[in-house]
Amino acid sequence: MTDSKSGKTLTLKKKAATPAATESGERRKRAGGRARQVAQQGRERDKLRAAKTPVTPSQPDTTSPVPPASRNQESRQDHHTHSNDSVQAEAARPHVAVRRARRPAQTEIFPVFAPCPQGLEEALAAEMQALGFEDAEPARAGCRFHADWSGILRANLYSRLATRILVQVAHAPVQHEDDILELAQQTPWERWFGAEQTLRVDTSAIRSPMQSLQYCNLRAKDGICDRLREREGERPSIDTVRPDARVHLFLSEDSATLYLDTSGESLFKRGWRLDKGEAPLRENLAAGLLALSGWDPAQALLDPFCGSGTILIEAAWIALGVPAGIWRPFGFERLRNHDARHWRDIKDEARSHIATRLDSPIVGYDLNPQAIEAARANLERAWLTPDSIRFEVGDARHAAPPASSGWLVTNPPYGERLPGDDVELWSDWAQNLKHHYSGWQVSVISSDLELPRQMRLKPRRRYPLHNGALDCRLFIFEMVQASYRKEKQ
């Protein structure tokens, strides 16, 4: 991977298609003709019906699709959400005649909700605005904006902070579970998927009076399947593990919103992490820390508790302009009428802007040699050369700064992870910072709200953030000579 002669830090090979991706591509090709026919039949049926039945208009939702307690904590979703795991895959389905579904017109504008880790809403809205979505505004645990289909693909490709890109396809007041069924039946799913795709539905709620989210989930799924069976003669089968199409139902106090998930797997999965180390940060939270810290990618960056290297690998991609999703598959690639050529063009354009050299040092230390091994392995899988980020076994309490000034962004061990004999860790580390790091901006995420007191440092700012289930703060300290002098007096 090293290319020391040219000084390049990034290897820009195109990643070979994964077996899974190739398989789904073939499946899509095989099913394409059939799908087109079914969709055309559906369209004709729609025309007839339009004359008879008023369709519920889709209106912008003003609430969030994810409840506070379960946002971005997929492992905890069971408490607040329901997916149709219990639904069995159906038996082999009969052949049906299908015709072409409507491709989203390039000029059609969709309302979008992008969830993110709690605490990053403002940063995400700013990121979306920088990507050209001018109306992006923070919402509860996410951000809202409008985009055409190309914009939706770009948001998936470029966003470092979003967890998903959800396109709102229906919204209506609901009082009873049957209203959900009706809303799902009236939504034109055949535009996006049909019997040739597998489906997963997830449900989440905030203050919804509905008795059972599981039943609401089932009603939504039944509504989707009823519509497709009625129009196309077949219903999609359910696959909760690797579905082609994902739908999210969000219930508020008095309304239901249906979202088409265009991302597939969560966007924090960039595709390079295999070695997790101890308590790794999610990649979009790591990118969020860098954004909140105000790190200037032209300046030195250090993580003295780097673990498997998440913050620093994210940072290298930011500095090089590598789009967050450049080497991963997305849910929209498995939907009906995915325009593979247009998607390739978007990615080619993105690749053409990637820089191949880092201008400033990026350095990581960890006490644990296995963590450093994991970080180096992740570095290689992120297509970065071994010399791009310097990962070394080292103790934060004694580590020297790699430059006279720069940014230190870190996620040290906290809570039950703090080794028992390390009670002096904070004061010892703080001593090192005070003696050797003047001119450095230090950003530390911790669930220990007493951290500044233990370090005897006054934070310039503190941002409330969630790291999974943990209520945390990102403390920002400015290491100026004065802070050391003040403590000595």
CB 311 within 8 A of CB 295: no
- The yes or no reply on residue 104 touching ligand SAM (CB under 6 A) is no
Whichever of 364 and 452 has its CB closer to ligand SAM, that residue is 364
Is 364 a binding residue for ligand SAM by CB under 6 A? The answer is: no
Count of residues interacting with ligand SAM (CB under 6 A): 23
Please give the Cα distance from 451 to 485 (Å, whole number). 20
Asked if 197 interacts with ligand SAM (CB under 6 A), we say no
- Tell whether residue 378 is a contact of ligand SAM (CB under 6 A): no
- Name the closest residue to ligand SAM (Cβ): 307
Query: Is 81 a residue that touches ligand SAM (CB under 6 A)?
Result: no
Closest approach, Cβ 480 to ligand SAM, in A, equals 24
Among 366, 437, 474, 475, binds ligand SAM (CB under 6 A): 366
Pairing relation of β-strands 110-115 and 166-173?
Answer: antiparallel
Q: Of 23, 26, 137, 278, which lies in the binding site for ligand SAM, with binding defined by CB under 6 A?
A: 278
- List the one residue from 367, 403, 470, 480 that touches ligand SAM (CB under 6 A): 367
CA dist 93 → 86, 205, 237, 246, 327 (Å): 20, 33, 9, 20, 34
443 binds ligand SAM (CB under 6 A): no
Q: How far apart are CA 48 and CA 41, in angstroms?
A: 11
| CB burial of residue 367 (10 Å; 0-12, 13-18, 19+) | middle
Our finding on whether 446 is near ligand SAM (CB under 6 A) is no
Largest CA distance in the chain: 84
| Phi and psi at residue 382, to the nearest 5° | -85, 15
Q: What is the dihedral of CA 418, 421, 422, 428, to 10 degrees?
A: 180
* Nearest CA-CA partner of 109 in 136, 143, 146, 134: 146
412 makes contact with ligand SAM (CB under 6 A): yes
User: Looking up tokens 């790291």, which residue turns up?
Assistant: 467
Based on the shown chain and the rule CB under 6 A, indicate whether residue 448 belongs to the binding site for ligand SAM: no
Question: To the nearest whole angstrom, how small is the minimum distance from the Cβ of residue 475 to ligand SAM?
Answer: 15
- Binding of ligand SAM at residue 277 (CB under 6 A)? yes
Task: Quote the least distance from Cβ 120 to ligand SAM, whole Å.
Answer: 16
> Facing residues of 439 across strands?
none
CB of 311 to ligand SAM, least distance (A): 6
Nearer to ligand SAM, 202 or 448 (CB): 448
Query: Do the beta carbons of residue 245 and residue 198 sit within 8 Å?
Result: yes
List 322, 371, 382, 409, residue binding ligand SAM (CB under 6 A)? 371
Verify binding: residue 387, ligand SAM, rule CB under 6 A. no
Helix boundaries (H) for 187-339: 213-232, 283-293, 310-320
**Of positions 11, 59, 299, 368, contacts ligand SAM by CB under 6 A:** 368
Q: Does 280 bind ligand SAM (CB under 6 A)?
A: yes
Helix then strand count (H, E) for the chain reads: 12, 16
Of the candidates 70, 72, 262, 411, which one interacts with ligand SAM according to CB under 6 A?
411
H helix or E strand, kind and range, residue 461: strand 461-467
Residue 436 CB contacts under 8 Å (≥ 6 apart), including other chains: 400, 401
Q: Is 377 in the site for ligand SAM (CB under 6 A)?
A: no
Q: Tokens in use for 234?
A: 């077949």
Residue 235 contacts residue 221 (beta carbons within 8 Å): no
| Using rule CB under 6 A, residue 396 touches ligand SAM | yes
Part of the chain binding ligand SAM (CB under 6 A), chosen from 125-133, 177-185, 261-269, 365-373: 365-373
470 binds ligand SAM (CB under 6 A): no
305 binds ligand SAM (CB under 6 A): yes
Q: Does 308 bind ligand SAM (CB under 6 A)?
A: yes
Query: For residues 12 and 354, is the Cβ–Cβ distance under 8 A?
Result: yes
Tell me the two tokens of residue 463.
């941002």
CA-to-CA dists, residue 132 to 164, 301, 330, 433, angstroms: 18, 28, 21, 39
Tokens of 35: 């799908």
Q: Which of 113, 186, 208 is nearest to 155 (CA)?
A: 113
Residue 374 CB, shortest distance to ligand SAM, in Å, is 7
Q: Which residue has the tokens 């959900």?
A: 180
SS3 category, 13:
coil
The residue from 310, 388, 443, 467 that contacts ligand SAM (CB under 6 A) is 310
Residue 206 or 374 with smaller CB distance to ligand SAM: 374
Q: How far is the CB of 448 from ligand SAM (least distance, A)?
A: 12
Closest approach, Cβ 425 to ligand SAM, in A, equals 6
Contact 307, 278 (CB under 8 A): yes
> CB under 6 A: which stretch of 57-65, 97-105, 364-372, 473-481 binds ligand SAM?
364-372
Give min distance, CB of 382 to ligand SAM, in A: 13
Rule CB under 6 A: choose which of 397, 434, 466, 473 binds ligand SAM.
397
Q: How far is the CB of 266 from ligand SAM (least distance, A)?
A: 16
Give the interface with ligand SAM as residue ranges (CB under 6 A): 277-281, 304-305, 307-308, 310-311, 365-368, 371, 395-397, 411-413, 425
